[in-house]
Structure 1
Amino acid sequence: MSAPSVINTDYNQDILDQYGYHIFSNGTISNGSSCYLTFDQYYPEIDPDGTVYNGTTCDYPYYHIRARGAMGIVFGTLAILILPSTFHMLRKHGARHSVVEYKRFRLFGRRWQWYWLFVAHILAAVSGFMSIDIDRDYIQGTALTSYGAVYTAIAPTILCAVWEMTRHWCSFEERRVFEEDPFRFKNHDRRSQIHLIMPVVFYLFAFLFFLLTVLRNWSLLIKINSTFIVDDRWKVGAFFGFVAFMVTIFQVGITFHYYHPRIMPPKIYLSFIGVAAIIAYSIGMAFDVRISPFNPLANVPAIAIWGYLPILYIMLIMNICAYFERNEDLVIADEKEDRERRNMNSLLQNLHTDSSADTASTLFTRRSYTNEEIKAFAKAHVKESQLQDLPEEEKV
C-alpha cells in the first residue's frame, strides 16, 4: 500500500474558521461533519458561502483490493453458491405428502429452519462484498459501519436456524410417538407446557443478543475505530447469545427425556460445534481487537477461521444432512405401514394358533386384541370378501 503524496493546501483561513474546517497532516480537511481529501488530484474548493466544489469524501476507495477484500469475495461467493441447495432443501422437506395435518405438527413449522438459513445466506453474501471497501477506503467510513451491522446480524440468524432445526427434530420425534399411540400423552401436561415455553425463552435471549450487538450506534465505529467493540454492551449481548445456545442444548435433553429417540441426528451435534465457535468468537473479539472483524488492520487468517468458516460450515452441514434425509411425511407413512404389516402378521399368527373350529366371536372373547390388530383383521376380512365376490376366471 503506497502512501499518497500529500500537497500543501492554500485556503482562506477566515473561511476555514467560519465553517469550522481544519487541515490535517494525512491530507484531509474536515469540520467534524464533512471530510474531504486534499492530495493528488483531489483538491476541494470552498466558496465564501460554505459551498464545497470538487470535494471527494475521505472514505473514497483510494487503495486496491487486498487480503481482507479478497477473503470477503470468497466468503460472499460461497454463500451465494450454497443458496440454491438451501432452496432445494426447503422444497424437499417443506412439501406435504400427508393427507391429514395435525395442529401441533404444522407444515409451516418445519420450514422455519430454511427461512432463517436463507436470511443468513443473504447477510453473508452482502457482508462479504462489503468488506472490499474496508481495504480500499482511505479513511474508514460508511463501508465499515454498514459491514459491521450486516455481519453482526449473521450470528443471531444462524443461531435461530440451528434452534429451529433442533426444535423440529423434537417435534418429529413427538409425531412419531403420536402416530403410534395418540393417547400416550395428555394435551395439557407438563410436557406440553415445556414445549410452549421453550421457544419463548429462546427467542427472548436471541432477541437480546440481536438488540445489544446489532441495533446500536454504529457511527461510534468511525470515531473510536476498533476499540469500541470492547464495551460492556457487546459483552452482555454475547452472553445472551450463549444463554440462547444453552437453551438449544436443553431442547435436546427434553427430546430424549420424553420421546426416547434411538439416536440424535448428526446434523444436530455437528451444527452445535459451529454455533459454539461463533459464540466463542463473539466473546473473544470483545477482549482482543486483533481478531475483531471491525478492525481494518485485524489479523486476516483469524477472521477467516473464526469469523467466516463456522458460518459456511453450518450452511454445508444443514444442506448435506438434509440431502440424505427423507421428507418427514414419507418417513411417518413408511413407519405406519410397517406397524400395520406387523400387526396383521401378529394377528394372523394368533388366529392360526387358536382352534380353527372357533368362531370369530369366540376368538375375541378368548384374548384381548389391540386396536391395531382389530383394524388389521377387519382389512384382511374385507379383502378376503372382495376376493370371494370375483368371478373364478379373475381370481387367478
Structure 2
Amino acid sequence: MPLIDARDLLAFPGGDNSSDTVIEGIHFNLTTLNFWNYTYYTNGTLSNGSWCFLVDPPYTPTVVLANGTFLNSTWCYLATEPIGDRARAGVGFAVAFALCLILVLANLKKHGELILPIEKRFYPIGRRWQWYWAIFVCAAALIGLFTGIDVDRYRVVELPLVLNVFFWFLMQMGTTALIWEAVRHWGSWMERQFIDPNPFVLQEKDKRGMFELWLPLFFYFWLWLNFFLIVPRNWGEIELQRSPDQAIEHAIPTATDGRFKAATFCLLICWLTTLVSLWHSIRHYEPRNRGFFNRAIGFLGYMPFRFTLLLPLGLAVVAYQGLAAWEFHLSPLNVKTNLVAMYVGGYTPSLLILIIQCIAGFMRPNEDRELMRQRRLRGQAIDQELGIVRKPAWWRRVNGDLPAGSMRDRIMRNVREVGGGRPTARHVERLAEQRAAGAESEAPTRVNAVEMNEFHRNSTASSVPASNNPPPPYSPYGGKSEQRRSERTVQMVAGLLFPSENSGLSTERGRGLEGSNNDQPRRPGTSERSSSTASGVSTSGAPQQIRSMLDV
C-alpha cells in the first residue's frame, strides 16, 4: 500500500512558444522557471528546493520576475486546506481530555487537602503526584491534538506533524508515570494504615524500606531514558514525506530506527517495575497466603479493582508505541497513517486511564478523613473492651457541664478572679486579712476542725491540733519598697498555705514510722525522705484540705 499520496513530477504545459508555459490560465516565462530550477508537482505546487509556491486556484501567482520572484504568490507551508478526518477525530478526543482535566483538578483538591498534621514519613506531595501526572497527560494530549488539526490543513508536510507526534510521546510517558504513581501511592497508603496503630511495627531502614526507597529511582531512570532516546533528535527528517522517494529515504528510516525501538524497551521496563511495586505492597501490607495458587488468587483479590484495568491499559500504551516503532504505516509519525490504529491504540488507552482514575478518586474518601475514621473506630473498640461508655457530644451541653459563654469570656472571668499586677498583691493581702480574721472568730466554735490556716507547729513537736495555737495576725506592708512589699506578700501566702514554725517532729515516711522522740535532729539516710514538710498533726486527726491558689 502507498505510504503517502503520490507527488509525481509534471512537465510544464506548453504555451505560445518554447519559452512560454501556461499554468491554470496564467502565462509564465519557462526560461526563468528552468533557470531557477523550479519543478511542477501534481499537488499544484512549484518548488526549487528552497522556495515553494501554490499555483492552483485561487492561489495562482500572476507573474514571475527575472530574479525568480512570484507576484501575488502563496507560500506552500500555510494552513490553506480544510480540516480532514485526522483533525475531526483529534478535536473530539481533545474535548474528552479537557473534561478529564476538570475532573482531575477536582480530585486533586479533594485528595490533596491536608487535615491531619504532616508526618515526616508520608509527605503530602506523595499522594498528589498521580494527579500532577494526570494534569501533565491532559495538557500534552490537548497540545498535541490541537496542533494535529494543521496536519491535514498543510498541503506540504511541515512543523504541525512534528508537534503532534512530539506531544504524543510525552503523553505516553506521562501515562506510564501516572499508573506508576497510582500503584506506588496505594502501597504508601497501605503502609500508613498498617503502622498507624503502632508506628514502631515497621522500621524505616530495613530491607523493605530500602527497597521502597530505591524502586522509584529505578523506575524514573528508565522513564527518563525513554525520554532522552526519543526527544533529542533531528525531527526535520520526519517532515520529509512530500514524495514517496523522500519518505523511503528519510522519514521511514528515522521513524523506525533503533532509538525508537530501544525507547519502547525502556517503557516496558517501567511497566514491569510498576507490577513489582504492586506485588511488593501486597506482600508486606496484606495477609499472606500459602501455596502458589493461593498467593496468585490473593494477589488478584487484594489488588484494587482499578488496577486490574489500569495495568492492561498501560501495557496497551507500551504495545502501540512498539508497534509504531516497527510498522510505519500504523505510526502517528506517518502523515497518512491508519487513523483507526492511531486513535484507538495511541489515545484511547490514555483517555480510559484518566477516566478510571477520576471515577476511583470520586469514590474514595480523603486519606486523612479515612485515617481519622479508623482511629475513631479503634477507640470505640478499646472503650468497649474496657467497659467505658462515653456520652455523646451533646450530653454535656444538655446537662450544663460546659461552662457558659465563649472561650474569651471564660478567660476574662479567670483573670478577674485571680487579678494581675499590683492589684493581685492587694487582692492577696485582703484575702489573707479576711481569712485570718475569720479563723480567729471561728476557732472557739469549731471542734476538731482541721484547716491549713489553723495549723501551728511548735518546737516541742506536739500532736495537739493547731486550732489551739492560731497563727499570729499579719499586717500589710505600708512602706514604699515594692520588693519588700512583694516579699511580705509571699511570706503571708506561704504562712497561710504551709505554716513553717520549727518542729522537732521527724517523720520517717520512707520506713512507714510515725515519728521520733529524739530531740536531736539527724540527717535522713539515702532511703529516707527529709521531714521538712512533715506535719505535726496526728494520723488520727482529720485530713488536711489543701486549698487552691485561686482561692488565695
TM-score range, shorter chain: 0.7 to 0.9
Q: Does residue 246 in structure 1 map to residue 272 in structure 2?
A: yes
Pairwise CA distance, 1:124: 1.2
Q: Distance in 2 between matches of 1:47 and 1:202?
A: 61
1:265 and 2:339 equivalent?
no
Residue 139 (structure 1) shift = 1.4
* 1:16 shift after superposition: 6.4
Question: Cα gap change, 1:136/1:185 in structure 2, threshold over 3 Å: closer, same or farther?
Answer: same
Q: Is the 8 A contact 1:9 1:38 kept in 2?
A: no
Change (3 A) 1:181 1:13: farther
Find the aligned partners of 1:206 and 1:221 in 2 and give their Cα distance: 23
CA shift digits 1:267-289 (9 cap, x unpaired): 22211121111110000112222
111-120 vs 284-293, which deviates more? 284-293
Cross-structure match for 1:65: 83
Give the 3 Å change call, closer, same or farther, for CA 33–335 of structure 1 in structure 2: farther
| Distance in 1 separating the partners of 2:33 and 2:43 | 21
1:91 matched to 2:117: no
Task: Report the counterpart of residue 186 of structure 1 in structure 2.
Answer: 203
- Point out the more displaced range, 201-210 or 53-62: 53-62
What pairs with 1:236-385 in structure 2 (closer than 5 Å)? Answer: 236-260=262-286, 263-348=302-387
What residue is the counterpart of 2:221 in the other structure? 204
Deviation at 1:65, TM superposition (A): 2.0
Q: Deviations over 1:17-55 (max 9, x none)?
A: 56x654445432334344322332334566566766544
Per-residue deviation, 1:94: 0.5
Structure 2 equivalent of residue 169 of structure 1: 186
What are the ranges of 5 or more consecutive residues in structure 1 without an aligned counterpart?
A: 349-379, 385-389
Please tell me whether residue 229 in structure 1 is matched to residue 255 in structure 2: yes
Shift of 1:312: 1.0
Q: Secondary structure at the match of 1:29?
A: strand
Task: For 1:12-51, list aligned pairs within 5 A.
Answer: 13=31, 17=35, 21-43=38-60
Shift of residue 232, structure 1, vs aligned partner: 1.0
Q: Deviations 1:188-239 (Å, cap 9, x if unpaired)?
A: 2111111111111111111111222233222111125452321111000111
| Aligned residue identity for 2:382 | N
Amino acid paired to 2:256: V
- Secondary structure of residue in 2 paired with 1:105: coil
Q: Distance in 2 between matches of 1:76 and 1:215?
A: 26
Quote the offset at 1:309 in angstroms: 1.1
Q: 1:90 to 1:53 in 2, by over 3 A?
A: farther
Distance 1:123 1:316 in 2: 16
Distance change >3 Å, CA 174–CA 16, structure 1 → 2: farther
Is residue 219–residue 273 contact of structure 2 (8 Å, CA) maintained in 1?
A: yes
- d(CA) in 2 for partners of 1:265, 1:91: 22
Where do 5+ consecutive residues of structure 2 fail to align? 8-21, 241-245, 288-300, 402-552
CA contact (8 A) 1:6 1:26 kept: no
CA contact (8 A) 2:226 2:266 kept: yes
Q: Does 1:139 align with 2:156?
A: yes
Structure 1 match to 2:230: 213
* TM-score, length-scaled by structure 2: 0.59
2:29 and 2:216 mapped to 1: Cα distance? 62
- Letter in structure 2 aligned against 1:239: F
**Which is further off, 114-123 or 40-49?**
40-49
CA distance in 1, matches of 2:169, 2:44: 32
- Structure 1 residues 247 and 297 mapped into 2: Cα distance closer, same or farther (>3 Å)? same
1:74 aligns with 2:92: yes
Distance 2:77 2:351 in 1: 30
Query: CA separation in 2, counterparts of 1:83 and 1:152?
Result: 19
Which is greater in Rg?
Answer: 2
Per mean C-alpha deviation after superposition, the further-off stretch among 63-72 and 318-327 is 63-72
Output the aligned Cα RMSD: 2.8
Which deviates the most, 35-44 or 143-152?
35-44
Give the aligned residue type for 2:323: G
- SS of 2:118's partner is coil
Greater mean alpha carbon deviation, residues 195-204 or residues 294-303? 294-303
